[in-house]
């Protein structure tokens, strides 16, 4: 995080540690921020990004993930993948001899969480003083936020979600085990107002993610009452910021007046994907 903040300040003047190196960026899911931020990150570090869509690879015709990883790692210095099942990511990493980065899986979204932590640290000086609250689906974004926030030493992390949409227990248990060393606490509640009360950060995500479109009507009903609204912002801390990993559906999980208002850190958060990922790439590829 410290290096990411430094790279942000010296964006146009830092060294290019990826000079002469190539990074394969595999997209099995569509993307805006992840694709652009990773491609720009690799280029600004002096490397060559190879954008690879599943329908352009033999992956789309039945070649195994393991074979793909074994071959690509003979060509490139790192591989990043945005995929569906987390098992595909693990299979790729097992077969690869170069670093493999999770650009997103159905279970975790760690690069988003790096940008999230960076954004919070830019706004607040003492992580242990903070209450960071997430409202909505206990999905991959929520999972990685819990884990990254626990490692960053956030004082209190709270998830407000409807029954049946909690983050999975192994992630909650892991986050709690991390807080035993870093301090802080993890709370899961079905009361959105309780989650918002006193929060320094109110975070939300779309209610219907890619691949869940057939569930959208049922999800809107289930998540009604978990919106980030102007009224709910009044329950939060006076200096609270609003975060959203985007894309946003104004009028569903968040009010337009909130995401576009003075408390919004959403656009800094989106920008910070670039800087956090540059720090990650630099760290992984410097050997």
Cβ atoms < 10 Å from Cβ of 244: 25
Separation of first and last alpha carbons in the chain: 19
Q: What's the token pair of residue 156?
A: 């209190």
Q: Tally DSSP H helices, then E strands, for the chain.
A: 12, 9
- Residue partners of 89: CB distance under 8 A and separation at least 6: 81, 83, 100, 102, 105
The radius of gyration computed from the CA coordinates of the chain, to the nearest angstrom, equals 19
Q: Are strands 48-53 and 78-82 parallel, antiparallel or unpaired?
A: unpaired
Give the angle subtended at the CA of 202 by the CAs of 182 and 27, to the nearest 5°. 85
Q: What's the token pair of residue 85?
A: 């099942």
Centroid of chain to Cα 283: 18
Closest among 106, 111, 165 to 134, alpha carbons compared: 165
Residue 42, phi then psi, degrees to nearest 5: -60, -45
Q: Bridge partners of 91?
A: none
The DSSP element (H or E) to which 186 belongs, if any, is strand 185-189
Residue 19, phi then psi, degrees to nearest 5: -55, 130
Active site residues: 82, 109, 112, 205, 245, 273
């Amino acid at each position: 995080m410290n290096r990411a903040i430094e790279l942000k300040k010296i964006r146009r003047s830092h060294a290019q540690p990826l000079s002469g190196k190539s990074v394969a960026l595999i997209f099995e899911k569509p993307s805006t921020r992840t694709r652009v931020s990773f491609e720009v990150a690799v280029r600004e570090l002096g490397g060559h990004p190879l954008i690879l869509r599943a329908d352009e690879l033999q992956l789309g015709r039945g070649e195994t993930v393991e074979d793909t990883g074994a071959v690509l790692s003979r060509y490139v210095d790192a591989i990043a993948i945005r995929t569906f099942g987390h098992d595909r990511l693990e299979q790729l990493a097992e077969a690869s001899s170069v670093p493999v980065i999770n650009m997103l899986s159905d279970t975790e979204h760690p690069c988003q969480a790096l940008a999230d932590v960076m954004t919070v640290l830019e706004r607040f000086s003492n992580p242990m003083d903070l209450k960071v609250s997430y409202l909505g689906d206990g999905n991959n974004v929520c999972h990685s936020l819990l884990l990254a926030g626990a490692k960053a030493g956030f004082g209190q992390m709270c998830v407000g979600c409807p029954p049946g949409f909690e983050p999975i227990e192994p992630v909650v248990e892991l986050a709690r085990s991390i807080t035993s060393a870093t301090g802080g606490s993890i709370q899961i509640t079905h009361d959105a107002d309780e989650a918002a009360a006193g929060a320094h950060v109110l975070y939300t995500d779309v209610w219907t993610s890619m691949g869940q479109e057939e569930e959208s009507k049922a999800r809107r009903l289930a998540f009604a009452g978990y919106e980030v609204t102007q009224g709910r912002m009044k329950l939060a801390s006076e200096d609270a910021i609003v975060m959203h990993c985007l894309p946003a559906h104004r009028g569903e999980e968040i009010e337009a007046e909130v995401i576009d208002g003075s408390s919004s850190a959403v656009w800094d958060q989106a920008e910070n994907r670039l800087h956090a990922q540059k720090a990650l790439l630099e760290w992984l590829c410097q050997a």
